[in-house]
Amino acid sequence: MANQLLAITRHPKERLTSVLLAPAPRVVDDKWRQWSRDWRVRELAPAPAGSGLRAVLGDAGLPLLGHTVDYIRFGSEFSRERYERLGSVSWMGAFGTKMVVIAGPDATREAFTSEAKAFSQDGWSFLIDAFFHRGLMLMSFDEHLMHRRIMQEAFTRPRLTGYVGQVAPCVRAAVPAWPTGPSVRIYPLLKNLTLDIATDVFMGGRGKDESAAVNEAFVSTVRAASSFVRVPLPGTRFRAGVHGRRVLEDYFSRHLPAARAGETDDLFAALCQATTEDGERFSDEDVINHMIFLMMAAHDTSTITTTAVTYFLAKHPEWQEKAAAEARSFGHDSPDIDELERMTVLDLILKEALRLLAPVPRVMRKTVRDVAIDGYHTPVKPCAQSHPP
């Protein structure tokens, strides 16, 4: 087991998620960033006469690529520089399209509250629909509400209590087998653990012998979202993502009949049987789409979050001791849902880790009508992404 886990840490996809993140001399990065700032700034669209609104400023960047390289390589540092230079609402070329970037507390609040109905979830569809088609996050307005109502039937208090009861045995079985030492990387270990948990809690242990292929398929679909090439050409991330989607569809399709017929307490069966008071239910296709998205969210974002928590606990041992003391206060190693809710120290640590290193630092939307955000005229159709500065 230890040798297998160490082999996982050496996988190139785990060492470096993109060649664009490869180390480079500081002077190279500085020159690239200066070049990125030198593109001619222009208006996305003129503001309506007499409206008192400002036009959204920005630039297209490189042909086709736009600022994709800057976005991937420099992340929040790149976004913060544009926020300070161009304002709370700006635009840029990226991933072969124009994107409006909404940043800062005031603009973000408007986009998510008073002007929320001016934005659909289709911004996500542009990036990930080929891999996570009709996942809940990709649905908008009334359809989103209907699917969320049905899905809530799989997350009632009794259901959650059952899910929690299945997590502790999986953790206790895996963690003692982990290797130790300075060369061990925690992210791959946590990724395999969260996938094992998702397989048990979501799938009821079905298809556990396929976990390696399923994990590879999920890795491919997640990586494909940031592919430069947006068509499935041979050798591209996009093609690997499309193949990964087919693997996942086949996996869930084969196990669907058993989940429909069974009365187990796993999420797959719960989604199959979920029915609202109005008699609304998921079709087989709906269940497969939601399971693919939920499994990705369960083990990908959870892995990023728990890795961040582990990093900050190692960096701040005093908080590590506080969290350990809180856990020991229960007198056993299998807390139930009520005890988990009383772990306030761990809750604070988790929330602070999410604030500092959010697993999804940007929210994608698409404008469905012209809208004013923080005094800027934002036209219909461009993709919009919102993030803190």
Model confidence pLDDT, tens digit, residues 277-319: 999 999 999 999 999 999 888 778 899 999 999 999 999 999 9
Please list the residues that pair with 90 across neighbouring strands.
57, 101
pLDDT of res. 14: 47
C-alpha span between 267 and 291 (Å, rounded)? 9
The confidence band for 204, taking pLDDT boundaries of 50, 70 and 90, is confident
Residue 243 has pLDDT above 70, yes or no: yes
pLDDT-wise least confident of 141-145, 166-170, 290-294, 351-355? 166-170
Question: pLDDT tens digits for 315-356?
Answer: 999 999 999 999 999 998 889 999 999 999 999 999 999 999
pLDDT of res. 7: 39
DSSP letter, residue 360: S
Question: pLDDT tens digits for 376-388?
Answer: 999 987 777 776 5
**Secondary element (H or E) of residue 261:** helix 237-261
Residue 228 has pLDDT above 90, yes or no: no
pLDDT of res. 8: 38
The confidence band for 370, taking pLDDT boundaries of 50, 70 and 90, is very high
pLDDT of res. 18: 62
Which residues are CB-contacts of 260 (< 8 A; sequence separation ≥ 6)? 269, 272, 273, 284
pLDDT-wise least confident of 35-44, 136-145, 295-304? 295-304
Percent of the chain at pLDDT > 70 equals: 94
pLDDT of res. 387: 61
Question: pLDDT tens digits for 53-94?
Answer: 999 999 999 998 899 999 889 988 999 999 999 999 999 999
CA nearest to 384, candidates 80, 137, 136, 97: 97
Separation in Å, CA 231 to CA 64, 280, 329 = 14, 36, 54
One-character DSSP codes across 156-196: SHHHHHHHHHHHHHHHHHHGGGS--STT--HHHHHHHHHHH
pLDDT of res. 388: 56
Number of Cβ within 10 Å of residue 39's Cβ equals 16
The answer for 95, left when phi > 0, alpha when psi is -120 to 50, beta otherwise, is left
pLDDT of res. 163: 92
Q: Copy the structure tokens of residue 376.
A: 């800027």
Structural domains in the chain, sorted by start: 39-133+362-387 (no CATH), 145-210+258-356 (1.10.630.10)
pLDDT of res. 381: 77
C-alpha span between 135 and 351 (Å, rounded)? 25
Max distance between CA atoms of the chain, in angstroms, equals 69
C-alpha span between 351 and 309 (Å, rounded)? 9
Number of Cβ within 10 Å of residue 193's Cβ equals 20
Question: pLDDT tens digits for 2-22?
Answer: 333 333 334 444 444 566 778
The confidence band for 360, taking pLDDT boundaries of 50, 70 and 90, is confident
C-alpha span between 328 and 346 (Å, rounded)? 12
Number of Cβ within 10 Å of residue 240's Cβ equals 20
Average pLDDT, the chain: 89
pLDDT: which is higher, 120 or 96 = 120
Side chain identity at 192, as an amino acid letter?
N
pLDDT of res. 225: 86
Contact assessment for residue 46 and residue 21, using Cβ atoms and an 8 Å cutoff: no
